[in-house]
Amino acid sequence: MRRSFKWLDVDWVMLGSAMVLSAIGILIIRSAAGSGGASVFAERQAYWLGIALAAYLVGYFVDRRHLRRSAYVLYALVLLALVALMLVGRLQGGVHRWIHVGGMTFQPSELAKLTLILCLARYFHKIKAKPPLGITEILIPFLLVAGYAIPVALQPDLGTAMFLVLLSVPLFLMMGLERPTVISLTIIAAMVAPIMFFSLKDYQRERILNFLSPGRDPLGTGYHVVQSKIAIGSGGLFGKGYLQGTQSQLQFIPEQHTDFIFSVLAEEFGFAGVLVVIGLLLFISLWMLSYLEVAKTKFAVLTVVGITCGFALQSVINIAMVAGILPVVGLPLPLISYGGSSLVTTFLGLGIVAGYRRRRT
């Protein structure tokens, strides 16, 4: 059902919370980037924030029927971009992850997180089989997940590839799976895991081994996590102050403006700052779930659940990674880490969820 637009209908609570987190992110990026690139990275993130706001409005206003009908087309376009990136993409830092257009870069794997949710929601919306589902009913969704996960893993970006697999789990559970199906998938995963481990690149295996034994190579492959823990622990209750973190200002933390930005936050703003950021991330996640009250179709319910779980899961994985609770993976902290692709995609997802208060189809 479509309602006439009123500015009061816009979810200013969710949008405002996302803007506050993004503003915090820009401040931390300025500090994390150091004196050399401080203004450049912060200005770029602010520029991307403007584009992200436009993406939010696109997600808010798009007709849900068109969104549902075009889900497979969107999936195909992103898949085409991922494949083309592997074949003709520019090699940067030893990987093929970014599309370069007019001096700007965009990471298709970030958009893949959102289009995969829409595609799976579209499939489950139309499926005629009643839950719980068996192997035959989940074969196509399984192939859809693999269709994204494989080219992303070959970039190589194993962290995002594994996240795409994890992202699909809540949707499968929402639909319900037969017990034999769950047992079969568990056995297959257990058999494939050792094969995958020995097929990983050396640095990827080292990350897993360092997670299992944190002190095995503190000056080499375990350097990221060691320095991150030092930064987090040294922040204390209220932190060392903005631009006063020794670990961050002396550039001891690798990738500190992207994947490890949480370490900079903890060092400069302490436990109090960490509580504020985690509280806002949790609030946005729970606020999005409240939209299940106005989601009237299976597609709407699965879309809201998928986007919410993706946002919350990525936040948890990133924070656990920098704290040494999980192996190091290349996943940014939503709304905080530097990166236009992640920021735009996150705001687009928030807009899609918020739009269900206006369009309940």
Per-residue pLDDT tens digits for 165-212: 999 999 999 999 999 988 988 898 888 888 887 777 777 777 777 777
pLDDT single digits (tens) 199-212: 777 777 777 777 77
pLDDT single digits (tens) 11-61: 899 999 999 999 999 999 998 876 555 578 899 999 999 999 999 999 999
Report the pLDDT averaged over residues 2-9: 60
Within-domain flag for 1: no
Within-domain flag for 88: yes
To 10 degrees, the CA torsion angle through 330, 335, 338, 339?
A: 80
Listing DSSP states for 24-66 in one string gives HHHHHHHHHTHHHHHHHHHHHHHHHHHHHHHHHHHHHHS-HHH
Within-domain flag for 2: no
Within-domain flag for 11: yes
* Residue span of the structural domain in which 254 resides: 7-357
**Which of 15-19, 152-156, 246-250 is most confident?**
15-19
Answer yes or no: are the C-beta atoms of 42 and 49 closer than 8 Å: no
pLDDT band at 237; cut points 50, 70, 90: very high
Checking if the pLDDT of 224 tops 60, the result is: yes
Is residue 282 within a helix (H) or strand (E), and if so which, with residue range? helix 261-289
Closest CA to 263 of 274, 276, 278, 272: 274
pLDDT band at 77; cut points 50, 70, 90: very high
| pTM as predicted | 0.92
Checking if the pLDDT of 81 tops 80, the result is: yes
Within-domain flag for 31: yes
Tally of structural domains, the chain: 1
Q: Please tell me which residue, 328 or 251, carries the higher pLDDT value.
A: 328
pLDDT at 257: 85
pLDDT single digits (tens) 118-129: 999 999 999 988
Q: What DSSP designation does 177 have?
A: B
**Sequence-distant (≥ 6) Cβ neighbours of residue 6 within 8 angstroms:** none
Report the pLDDT averaged over residues 283-302: 94
Q: How far is CA 304 from CA 270, 294, 309, 360, in A?
A: 33, 10, 8, 12
Checking if the pLDDT of 139 tops 60, the result is: yes
pLDDT at 24: 96
Within-domain flag for 183: yes
Closest CA to 338 of 31, 20, 1: 31
Q: How far is CA 50 from CA 105, 109, 183, 242, in A?
A: 16, 21, 47, 25
- Gyration radius of the chain over CA positions: 21
